[in-house]
Amino acid sequence: MKHFDRMTKKELCTRILQGLDALHDQAQRAEADMTATDLNTVLQALSALRHSGPLSEIAVDEIGRIEDLLARAIAQETLGFQNVFDGTVDPDLGAVGRVHAVPVLSEKGAALDRLQQGFRQILAMRELLAARIDAGLMMNGIKAA
């Protein structure tokens, strides 16, 4: 995320639009092997976000549609869970950290997960862009805090 912090608003918006195009292409190449209905839903939502803009009034609905569809599809492709330790081994205290249950995904699930991770990155950039725009408006006294 630090890389995005150094981008101008124009560069950030450009990167978001490029990311939406790349996700559209990735989904269309059928890497995630979605049903025709799900694929059509995702492609239409990505196109709407691309053409209306990531901060438009319809963006929230389209984002929700994509997030819900991907979450459901990944859940269906989850084969089980594997415990993974996230932490360090301290010589005096032993293992210090947490154990997380990480889903084990089918090939299709892994492709869907890659699509979801790309989408989440775009959403993080979108939130940064929105915050910068809001901050600029607040600094200019246009928007009430």
Q: Residue 143 above 70 pLDDT?
A: no
Considering only residues 130 and 140, tell me which one the structure prediction assigns the higher pLDDT. 130
Q: Which pLDDT does position 1 carry in this prediction?
A: 52
Structure confidence by residue, pLDDT tens digits, 4-27: 778 888 999 999 999 999 999 998
Considering only residues 64 and 34, tell me which one the structure prediction assigns the higher pLDDT. 64
Structure confidence by residue, pLDDT tens digits, 101-132: 999 999 989 999 999 999 999 999 999 999 99
* Domains in the chain: boundaries: 2-77+107-139
Q: Which pLDDT does position 31 carry in this prediction?
A: 61
Q: Quick one: pLDDT band at residue 2, thresholds 50, 70, 90?
A: low
CA angle 8, 10, 14 (to 5 degrees): 115
Half-sphere exposure of 144 (CA within 13 A, CB side): 0
What's the pTM value of the predicted model, to 2 decimals? 0.81
Q: Residue 145 above 60 pLDDT?
A: no
Q: Residue 32 above 80 pLDDT?
A: no
Lowest-confidence region among 61-65, 103-107, 133-137: 133-137
Lowest-confidence region among 50-54, 72-76, 127-131, 136-140: 136-140
